Amino acid sequence: MVEQLILTGIMLLLVGCLFGTRINPAWLFVSAIGTSYLTGLIDLENMLVNYTNPSLITLVLLILVSIAIEKTTLIQRLAKSLSSGSLVKSVTKLGLSTAFLSSFTNNTAVVASLITAIKDNPNHSPSKLLLPLSYTAILGGTITLIGTSTNLIVNGFAVDAGMAPLGFFDFTLVGLGALSVGLITILVMLKCLPDNGKNSQEVVPFYLEGKVQTGSKLINRTVEENGLRDLKDLFLAEIIRDGNRICAVTPQHIIQQDDILLFVGDIKSVPLLTRFDGLKVVHDKHEKDIEHLVEVVVSQSSKLIGKTVKEAHFREQFHAAVIAIRRGHDRLQGGLGQVRLQAGDSLILAPGKSFYDLTNLKREFVYISGLDLQTHLGAKQSNIVLLSFAGVLGLSILGAVPLVKGLLVLLIGLMLCGTIKLSEIKRRFPIELLAVVGSAIGLAKLMIGTGLAGQISDAMFVVLGDFGPYGAFIAIFLMTVLFTELITNNAAAALSFPVAYSLAIGFNVEPLPFIMAVAFGASASFISPFGYQTNLMVYSAGNYRLKDYVMMGLPLSIIYSITVLTLIPLVFPF
């Protein structure tokens, strides 16, 4: 009883912080399991063994091996094949291809690799393609055991609860059904997506600044005389002089020394500014070439949120200068250093040499793309990497070699061949995912072992008992979907699993349909840009508003839910 009370307090505090604060979930889960250890609920050995769960190790290895897959020509070829005049045909081809890739590789990596190609496609507005890209990547991830981290995590929970491991294709029938109706829904709803193409009046481009240096020929001449009104795809929106903003800049405004000129426009037109004498786009003694740029998207768990660029000491922390910012459709005001950063903001950086060696990049940014730094393997190397990965998956499916062993051997081989560098392993190692999932497995065990999950399920049984197992099954699914939209998919699975398992035991039915409800519910993030990483990655890239996610995602979420709730009991009877 005392153990239940202590664990209840820990879990309530965890849930409260997950929903009510911006504290990194990794810190919250580690703190929760650490407090459980300090209060005697779990011993050190049992706590640490959770971080070596086979499903978790498999997930880590998949993420690391995906570094090599991202470099292959496969995704390049896919990007080139999307040049179709028909929007419906392009979205269909994009959706099916993305779903297929996402069912076998990290869907975040697939989306990251395709964003730039989609933005540069000559036929369609990126805003018509990027959200379907994210949604089909999510749907594709539900098709196999390794398609999304959620499926592997739920498998880890199931094994630790004493259930048989889930098979590679156990998710496939339900996942294919969800993908089919989901893609049809996306195609029907395409008209709801905004057209934020280059010719659209609503597009909100990047926001950047240049500083007028001492001795510049721009000084004491008007905007018109300096030719600042005739820049292709760039518009001089404001001037900041002595801390004061001059809005609605006219052709007759005279430029003065130390003026900060704020431009709105296409980031690719930035090199045009270099033709103006004494106008420095990247200043403060930063000597990088402005044509060497990196685009990043601020993560929902980033410590930068709520801080200005100056308050965050961005240059010192990341060895990079911010030269442009974009926030969906919001028009930013004031100098770049005064913009308070938000999740989903796109930043264009001029990086220093040590930028890529920093270990906190993946924590702070959900998307990092060198605008001119893409390194790809040759055709022969790409084929070797892809065939090797396919071979590892094939041996695992046939039961010849466990997936975790095959991936470990493949990773070592890729490192020995130089395809993956040690510095890339250090940079991409998913330490936060390891912390969240390892801690969550321990907490799930405690909830089941102490009887807390049983107590919660008993309370739910009182409410749902009249509706039978199917009613409880629906409730678990909807609860997981809600958690996914409000926090993260992995945290949602961690919180829902022990309750789902205990409810199944309480109803004396097979736990598997309830476990599948958790897995598919945790992947149902369509209504918000913040529930799933791929949604956040395309938020600013597509110039979307929150209402775009609701307009497109709400019908998709409803139809996805109906499909999943219908198919799971058919494939996995109670």
HEC sequence for 148-183: CHHHHHHHHHHHHCCCCCCCCCCCHHHHHHHHHHHH
Q: Residue 25: which of 514, 370, 443, 389 has the closest Cα?
A: 443
More confident residue, 183 or 25: 183
pLDDT at position 200 = 43
CA 6 from chain centre, in angstroms, equals 34
pLDDT > 70? residue 232? no
Of the ranges 174-188, 250-264, 358-372, 441-455, which one carries the lowest mean pLDDT score? 358-372
Q: How many residues does the chain have?
A: 574
Burial of 44 (0-12, 13-18, 19+ CB in 10 A): exposed
Q: What is the pLDDT of residue 203?
A: 46
Is the pLDDT at 53 greater than 60, yes or no?
A: yes
- Which of 242, 276, 274, 277 minimizes the C-alpha distance to 258? 242
Q: Residue 498: how many CB atoms within 10 A of its CB?
A: 26
**Average of per-residue pLDDT values in the chain:** 82
> Has residue 82 got a pLDDT over 70?
no
- Cα–Cα distance between 154 and 175 in angstroms, integer? 15
Residue 60 has pLDDT above 80, yes or no: yes
By three-state DSSP, how is residue 90 classified?
helix
Q: Tell me what the mean pLDDT of segment 182-210 comes to.
A: 74
191 confidence band (pLDDT: 50, 70, 90): confident
Query: Which pLDDT score is estimated for 520?
Result: 95
Query: If phi over 0 gives left and psi between -120 and 50 gives alpha, with beta otherwise, what is residue 353?
Result: alpha
DSSP class of 39: T
Q: Check whether 199 has a pLDDT greater than 60.
A: no
Residue 244 sits at φ, ψ, to 5 deg, of -105, 140
Is the pLDDT at 284 greater than 50, yes or no?
no
Q: What is the pLDDT of residue 59?
A: 84
Give the residue with greater pLDDT, 222 vs 290.
Answer: 222
**Do 525 and 314 form a contact (C-beta atoms < 8 A)?**
no
Q: Which two tokens stand for residue 180?
A: 């089919």
| Torsions phi, psi for 370 (to 5 deg) | -75, 120
* Mean pLDDT value across residues 263-268: 70
Among 294-303, 307-316, 405-414, 540-549, name the one with the lowest average pLDDT: 294-303
Torsion over CA: 250, 256, 257, 259 (sign): negative
Rounded distance, CA 381 to CA 368, Å? Answer: 24
Domain ranges of the chain: 294-319+328-370
- CB neighbours of residue 202 within 10 Å: 12
Longest dimension (CA), the chain: 83
Whole-structure pTM value:
0.75
Q: How far apart are CA 186 and CA 88, in angstroms?
A: 10
Q: List the beta strands (DSSP E) in 59-117.
A: none
Q: For a pLDDT cut of 90, what percent of the chain falls above it? A: 17
